[in-house]
Amino acid sequence: MNTNYKVSVETSGETAIVYASDYLNKLSGERIERECRRQIDAGCRTIVVNFGETEIVNSIGVSILLGVIDAASGAGARVVFSDVNEDTIELFEMLGLTNHVAIQG
């Protein structure tokens, strides 16, 4: 596991953009979930998870995203998935993630 990995985040007002990258698909992806929780705790109302650099999402990635959804729904925040490729959108639809998030671009 790469322990030096840092989650890329951009914030603007009450919105935080978190870049999923390929780390989402490993145990180290739990940092992405922790970062989202931190942003929610800090007052973010919208969490945008950017999949621009994510080719595929595996089961670990799905589980981590479900954690993000769970944390956001508990705090009344919204989750948006952006730059998602078509295969991944299909996967999210099949597993029901799209019931909980908005898909953007």
Partner 1 sequence: MPENQQKLIHTFGALAELGHEVSQKNNFQEMIRTSLHLLLGALGIMRGGVARYSRFGHELNMLAVRGLGDEFPLSLTICNEDERQFLTNGTVPIEIAQAKVLPFFQIYDRSFAAKKLELLVPLVIRDEIVGVVLLGEKANGEPYSSYDRDIICAMTRHIGVGIAQRNLMAELERRAEENRRLYDDLRMTYKDTVKAFATAIDCKDKYTEGHSVRVGKYSEIIAAELGWDDEQVEGAAVAGYLHDVGKLTVESSIINSPHRINAKETAALNKHPVIGYEILLPIHHPYADVPLAAKYHHERLDGRGYPDELCDRDIPYIAKIVCLADSFDAMTTDRPYKRRRPANEVIEDLQYNAGRQFAPELVTAFCRAMLKEITLETKQKKFRRLLGREYLEADGIVPLLKNALNGMNGTSSLTLVSLD
Q: Does 22 bind partner 1 (CB under 8 A)?
A: no
Considering only residues 66-85, where is the footprint of partner 1 by CB under 8 A?
66-67, 69-70
Q: Does 61 bind partner 1 (CB under 8 A)?
A: yes
Distance in Å, CB of 12 to partner 1, minimum? 28
Contacts 24+ apart (CB under 8 A), 82-86: 82/17, 82/48, 82/49, 82/50, 82/51, 82/52, 83/50, 83/51, 83/52, 84/51, 85/51, 85/55
Q: Does 3 bind partner 1 (CB under 8 A)?
A: no
- Which of these ranges, 7-15, 34-42, 46-54, 87-95, lies near partner 1 under the rule CB under 8 A? 87-95
Q: Is 74 helix (H, G, I), strand (E, B) or coil?
A: helix
Q: Which residues of the chain form contacts with partner 1 (CB under 8 A)?
A: 27, 30, 58-64, 66-67, 69-70, 87, 90-91, 94-97, 99-100
